[in-house]
Chains A and B, each alone.
Chain A
Amino acid sequence: MKLGFILGEVGSGLRRNLSMVVSVVLVTFISLTFVGTAALMQMQITQMKGYWYDKVQVAIYLCGEHNEGTNCAEGAVTEGQRGEIESMLGSAAVKPYVENFEYESKEQALTHFREQFENSSMSETVTADQLPESFRVSLVDPEKYQIIKELFSSMDGVDVVVDQRELLEKIFSIINIASFVAIGIAGVMILCAVLLVGTTIRLSAYLRRRETGIMRLVGASKSSLQLPFVLEGVISALIGALLASGVLWAAVRFLIDDKLALDYKDTAFISTGEVFMVAPWLILLGVVLAGVSSLVTLRRYLKV
């Protein structure tokens, strides 16, 4: 009965204050969508790191005929130079850092290139001679890339040593910046949401001052006076959080699962599973913020 009564009060509060409630729902929805987006982008980075860091290698590109690198003055790499590099990779000084390495010839490079740019017209025009041969080195600890670079950069026949991780880092830093932007927008929007919840509760307390005045006089407990207002804020935020979760799910489902993941098969993408990990936190965040904000407002604007 008591619960029913309080819920009835909540219902009447929501109805009477509908426009404010709708705005709280929308602002919470937008702000939590940004929070969720940032979280998902970070998860995407983690996902890609886990997937790629195992596969990326340090590539030691060898001189081709037309290279202008400092070690390539004598034209294309010779058999001897190639052998020296290979034995260097197997030497005691280098071995502890190297997990394994393999040689990639021009023909193999072409095959890989064609695979990678399957849909591009470029793959048709490139020939094996235009691609450099290389050693693909997997490192025990990818952070030790500098050592390999120092050792091999100066060797004859080596054009350039490239850490493929650096390319990935660029992608990650772009995603990182995007997620920081999202967090920044989310921060401002959350501030808006908190203030708006406060204003809404204040207005609601004002609209219902007759009821609360009478409730106080006939001896309503502090909790039964405050609970309808707090629930009003929390329910609005909850709806907003559910909307945000729904939109994130739809975005991941239709943009990533159905499109990006199909277009780029060799890249790891987050999926709706990640959304289900993020959504409970969004809901918790929304509910806690709204609850705290309403309680703080009531402390000032509702006499108990």
Chain B
Amino acid sequence: MIRFENVTMVYDQKSRLGSENARPGLDDVTIEIDRGDFAFLVGASGSGKSTFLRLILREIVATGGSVHVAGQNVARIPSWRVPKLRRGIGVVFQDFRLLPQKNVFENVAFAMQVVGESRSAIRDHVPEVLKLVGLEGKEKRQPDELSGGEQQRVAIARAIANKPQILLADEPTGNLDPATSVGIMNVLDRINQNGTTVIMATHDDGIVNSMRRRVVELSLGKIMRDESAGEYTSMIPVINQDGTRELRQADHSTWQKPSTGNQAFAPFDTEDDMP
């Protein structure tokens, strides 16, 4: 469904030499995500998660390698065909991005109107989608009358209104409390079970650990690990001999004797998001 072949994404190529920002957003990434997969994309801020998602959407074009979505090399799609690619991809964000002056029904219908669906198709399909995300009976509510979790459900409904084969979620639970997040994850899981490929970038370790789905960890633009039923982090806390605590990469040789691990990663980078 989605295949990255040696994908490198360098922002601002002109200042590549000598600049500290020269490190690539993605660095020689090769990965394949199959139809119907549910993959978590984890990693510190600036590790390349957003770059990964934006490459799939062709918001940006890779500077090296190729990105294939549904069998097409996205870099080769002429610009006037890009909308067609995007119709096959739903996107959900941390900040919901609902239209404040439209009610729930209109927000979802908007996505269908934009691609030119008929009024009757919209009338039939929107309630179905709202039911799928668990918002029956709230069609007439305005976004500011909804809780965060409900708003995110509307956003998900909008993302899947045009029946995309791929759903990208960029920290969809980032603004939500754990209990609400579980509800959102159930919705995403249900969508995944209907056959939609879901890729979710997240910092929410609790969710990743409990879902036991594929986990792709990015760090500094490289894939650090790719496990089929992974956890949020493979790092474990260790206490150094001088008494300080830090997290260390848990590969199996160091698991028993953490003190011999020689590579340390800060689990939470400073919040310098990629542009």
Residues of A within 8 A of B (CB): 1-2, 5, 210-211, 213-222, 224, 304
Contact = CB atoms under 8 A, between A and B. Distances in A.
B118 A1 contact: yes
Interface string B151-172: 0000000110110000000000
Majority DSSP secondary structure for residues of B touching A: helix
B118 A213 contact: no
B115 A214 contact: no
Interface residues of B, number: 27
A210 B113 CA distance: 16
A215 B118 contact: no
B80 interface: yes
A215 B113 CA distance: 9
Given A1-B119, A5-B113, A214-B110, A219 B87 contact: yes
B129 interface: no
Nearest to A221: B83
Contacts of B90: 218
A216 B116 contact: no
Given A214-B99, A214-B158, A220 B114 contact: yes
B97 interface: yes
A213 B99 CA distance: 11
A222 B97 contact: no
Sorted from nearest, which 3 A-B pairs have the closest CB atoms? A219-B87, A219-B86, A218-B111
A211 B116 contact: no
Most buried by A among B113, B117, B158: B113
Given A2-B116, A214-B110, A222 B83 contact: yes
A226 to B, nearest CB: 12
A216 B57 CA distance: 10
B75 interface: no
Given A210-B99, A222-B80, A216 B86 contact: yes
Name the residue among A210, A218, A220, A224 with the largest chain B CB count within 10 angstroms. Answer: A218
